[in-house]
A and B are shown apart, each in its own frame.
Chain A
Amino acid sequence: MPNLLAFVETRAGAIRKAGLEAVTAARGCVDAAGGGEVHALLVGAPGIAARAESLGEHGADVVIVVEHAGFERYNPEATAALAAERIGSGGYPLGVFSSTAQGRDLAPRVAAALDAAIVTDATTLTIEQDAVVVTHPIDTGKLIAIWAIRGTPAIVAMRPGAVLLAPQPRTARIERAQPVSDPASARVVTTELTVGDSATMDLGDAPVIVSGGRGLKSAENFRLVEDLAAAFGNAAVGATRAVTDDGWRPHSDQIGQTGRLVSPDLYVAVGISGAIQHLAGMRTSKTIVAINKDREAPIFKVADYGIVGDVFEVMPALIAAVRAARAAST
């Protein structure tokens, strides 16, 4: 079994959970196929090398660190050129990426540069004698496709949350490498990165997502959703299209057919009807909770635990109860 390359996504100098998931997915692939090494590619501004060791804990045998001031913010062209060159020259049959907003931008560029076949948003990944096999939800999750990718290299981006993180510690060898193109000469330049409030986590990383719908009635009332997310302590805030269309929340929070696809451990739907287009983005969540005053709302058909009630009555009680439960457990 040859070695695989995993690209480690970072943001603002920190490794994202999806980056660890890419390493874990590559590890799982290699182990199931009977050996081989996982090489993690970690690209960032000077200082990013300090994060390399944590990748060993998640199964990387080698961490290739590329530090350059031009990687302070996401630099799509220079990063893609670098990843493609590494995969090509390293003879890796498979490059594993993350199907986050950034990974969905990066992975196709890398595939294009290598004339490699690409599948994004994969939920499982295995490697066979002459093919890489992925499962990949299609038609907004109504069907699951099992696809074989023939020929090498193959590029696969994993759906965030689809890979279960488990420690598999080893001491990774650290190697240094250089960019292959001048990051300063890229045509596409990220001039600004605005990170939302840090009280809650982001949708790509969070094990818990608390999502609000039109049942909250106004932007101000979204406080209830934020407060519940804060009470969990490891939660992100999501929204329906009704809410993002009304401008109560940015479009980046939208979950569904035309928004983000998420699979957290827990998804709490607050005042959400459960339209098919919304379910498309969250029905693979492990546990779903719904709070809605309409007993007939379709969200209850997919909810493991439903409460029929007014969000303005239920949410304050739930926020207090979750806070208390967490206080008691720490």
Chain B
Amino acid sequence: MKIAVCIKRVPVMDQRLAIAADGIAIVESGLKFDVNDFDLWAVEAGLQLKEKAGQGEVVVISLGPDAVQEQIRKALSMGADRGIHLQAAAVPPDARVAARALADELKGGAYDLILFGRIAVDVSNGATGAIVAHLLGLPCVTAVSKLEITGGRGRARRELEGAQETVEFPLPAVLTIDEGLNRERLPSLKGIMAAKKKPLDVKPTTLTESRVVVRRLQMPPERSAGRIIGEGAAAVPELVRLLQTEAKVL
């Protein structure tokens, strides 16, 4: 099993984000970053598939500034075999741009599976995997929350709103990984030591022009401060009255 996993460096979400003076970027200094949640589950999926197959290789690829090497090392310390850093100072929010750069690297890699996260929690587009699949001419299954691979074919479960789908597909394929498939392993001390010696190729990358342009960032509208209307079952009539007269939802 030869598996590629595309991982993105994103800000950790339980911290305050501020808009820079230019109004179009976030203030990055002082922020903590990590691998996108879904991408960690994709790495874990790749490791488990390789372990199950008994042989193979898990290659992690990240596009971005030099700082992404920190995230590649994390994936290597979880057990991935080698890393590729596609070097670009900044990646625009147009998924076509990242997809093109990633597809150029993946093409010719003879991967059985190429794994993505369902969505990057920073730009929140969830489009990169499907575009890469198209560029490589591979079948694509998105938002996989259960996966079985047997004899060159795969079967996946996808969760819809209030429903589930089972999807079958041939390998090689591109999959985007949803929550529910697994929880990522923590890097062991041994893994962290080993990761330092694993190969990490750095490749300068030229990006195509972005067709999605940031006009402005703004803070979301403040919700009016929360209001506690009462305690226990005694507060229920007042709640129902407010839902009928004020919120008009009942």
B contact residues, total (Cβ < 8 Å): 82
Which B residues from 207 to 242 make CB contacts under 8 A with A? 211-220, 223-233, 235-237, 239-240, 242
> Which residues of chain B come closer than 8 Å to A314, judged between CB atoms?
232-233, 235-236
Which stretch in B1-9, B161-169, B187-195 binds the other chain? Answer: B161-169
Decide yes or no whether B64 CB sits under 8 A from chain A. no
Proximity string of chain B (156-200) to chain A, C-beta cutoff 8 Å, 1 when within and 0 when not: 001111111111111000000011100000000000000000000
Besides A289-B243, A305-B242, 13 other CB < 8 A contacts?
A: A101-B161, A108-B95, A109-B140, A120-B125, A144-B217, A187-B169, A189-B169, A191-B155, A194-B166, A252-B160, A290-B226, A303-B227, A318-B239
**Interface footprint category on A:** 35 or more
A139 touches B26 (CB 8 A): yes
Indicate whether A304 sits within 8 Å of B226 (C-beta atoms), given known contacts A74-B165, A144-B220, A259-B179. yes
B159 touches A251 (CB 8 A): yes
B161 touches A104 (CB 8 A): no
> Which residues of chain A come closer than 8 Å to B244, judged between CB atoms?
325
Indicate whether A196 sits within 8 Å of B37 (C-beta atoms), given known contacts A111-B127, A143-B218, A207-B249. no
> Which residues of chain B come closer than 8 Å to A223, judged between CB atoms?
none
Per the bound structure, the CA–CA distance linking A206 and B225 in Å amounts to: 25
Decide yes or no whether B135 CB sits under 8 A from chain A. yes
Q: How far is the CB of B16 from chain A (nearest CB, A)?
A: 8
B169 touches A266 (CB 8 A): no
B214 touches A145 (CB 8 A): yes
Per the bound structure, the CA–CA distance linking A109 and B133 in Å amounts to: 9
Q: Which residue of B lies closest to A149 (CB)?
A: B212
Decide yes or no whether A220 CB sits under 8 A from chain B. no
A305 touches B229 (CB 8 A): yes
> Which residues of chain A come closer than 8 Å to B236, judged between CB atoms?
307, 314, 317-318, 321
Partner pick for B178 among A146, A203, A251, A288, CB 8 A cutoff: A251
Q: How far is the CB of B149 from chain A (nearest CB, A)?
A: 15
B37 touches A257 (CB 8 A): yes
B235 touches A201 (CB 8 A): no
Per the bound structure, the CA–CA distance linking A282 and B168 in Å amounts to: 32
A192 touches B166 (CB 8 A): yes
Q: Which 4 A-B pairs have the closest CB atoms?
A: A202-B162, A112-B134, A252-B159, A108-B130
Proximity string of chain B (11-33) to chain A, C-beta cutoff 8 Å, 1 when within and 0 when not: 10110010100000010000000
B224 touches A304 (CB 8 A): yes
Proximity string of chain A (279-307) to chain B, C-beta cutoff 8 Å, 1 when within and 0 when not: 01001101111100001000011111111
Decide yes or no whether A10 CB sits under 8 A from chain B. no
Indicate whether A118 sits within 8 Å of B124 (C-beta atoms), given known contacts A101-B160, A108-B131. no
Q: List B residues at the A interface (Cβ < 8 Å).
A: 11, 13-14, 17, 19, 26, 37-38, 93-96, 99, 119, 121-127, 129-131, 133-135, 139-143, 145, 155, 158-170, 178-180, 211-220, 223-233, 235-237, 239-240, 242-244, 247, 249-250
Decide yes or no whether A124 CB sits under 8 A from chain B. no
A194 touches B163 (CB 8 A): yes
Partner pick for B211 among A142, A149, A260, A325, CB 8 A cutoff: A149
Decide yes or no whether A151 CB sits under 8 A from chain B. yes
B169 touches A251 (CB 8 A): no
* A-B CB contact pairs (8 Å), 7 listed: A139-B11, A143-B217, A147-B212, A191-B168, A204-B162, A306-B226, A325-B250
> Which residues of chain A come closer than 8 Å to B214, judged between CB atoms?
145-147
Per the bound structure, the CA–CA distance linking A289 and B240 in Å amounts to: 11
A148 touches B237 (CB 8 A): no
Q: Tally A-B pairs: CB < 8 A.
A: 288
Q: How far is the CB of A127 from chain B (nearest CB, A)?
A: 14
> Which residues of chain B come closer than 8 Å to A276, judged between CB atoms?
13-14
Partner pick for A192 among B165, B225, B227, CB 8 A cutoff: B165
Indicate whether A280 sits within 8 Å of B13 (C-beta atoms), given known contacts A143-B220, A251-B145, A307-B231. yes
Decide yes or no whether A310 CB sits under 8 A from chain B. yes
Per the bound structure, the CA–CA distance linking A136 and B95 in Å amounts to: 14
Q: Which residue of A lies closest to B225 (CB)?
A: A301
Decide yes or no whether A205 CB sits under 8 A from chain B. yes
B163 touches A310 (CB 8 A): no
B163 touches A252 (CB 8 A): yes
> Which residues of chain A come closer than 8 Å to B134, judged between CB atoms?
109, 112-113
Q: Which residue of A lies closest to B139 (CB)?
A: A187
Decide yes or no whether A140 CB sits under 8 A from chain B. yes
Partner pick for A310 among B133, B220, B232, CB 8 A cutoff: B232
Per the bound structure, the CA–CA distance linking A283 and B224 in Å amounts to: 11
> Which residues of chain B come closer than 8 Å to A111, judged between CB atoms?
95-96, 127, 130-131
> Which residues of chain B come closer than 8 Å to A105, judged between CB atoms?
130, 142-143, 158
Partner pick for B130 among A109, A141, A258, CB 8 A cutoff: A109
> Which residues of chain B come closer than 8 Å to A150, judged between CB atoms?
211-213
Per the bound structure, the CA–CA distance linking A131 and B213 in Å amounts to: 10
> Which residues of chain B come closer than 8 Å to A211, judged between CB atoms?
none
Partner pick for A140 among B13, B96, B180, B217, CB 8 A cutoff: B13
